[in-house]
Amino acid sequence: MSKRYTKADLEEIIYNQLENLNAMHDLLGIMKLQNDLIQNINQKLREEIGQFKGQQVMYPTRKKTKS
Domain assignment present for 7:
yes
Domain assignment present for 67:
no
> Residue range 40-47: average pLDDT?
97
pLDDT for 67 equals 61
pLDDT for 55 equals 84
Q: Number of folded domains in the chain?
A: 1
Domain assignment present for 51:
yes
Give the domain extent around 45.
1-62
What Cα–Cα distance (Å) separates residue 51 from each residue in 39, 55, 59?
A: 18, 6, 18
Domain assignment present for 2:
yes
User: Between residues 62 and 35, which one has the greater pLDDT?
Assistant: 35
Q: Is 63 helix (H, G, I), strand (E, B) or coil?
A: coil
**pLDDT tens track for 8-18:** 999 999 999 99
pLDDT for 60 equals 76
Band (pLDDT 50/70/90 cuts) for residue 62 is: confident
Cα distance between residue 6 and residue 11, in whole Å: 9
Measured in degrees and rounded to the nearest 5, phi and psi for residue 61 equal: -105, 155
Helix (H) or strand (E) holding 46: helix 7-55
Domain assignment present for 27:
yes
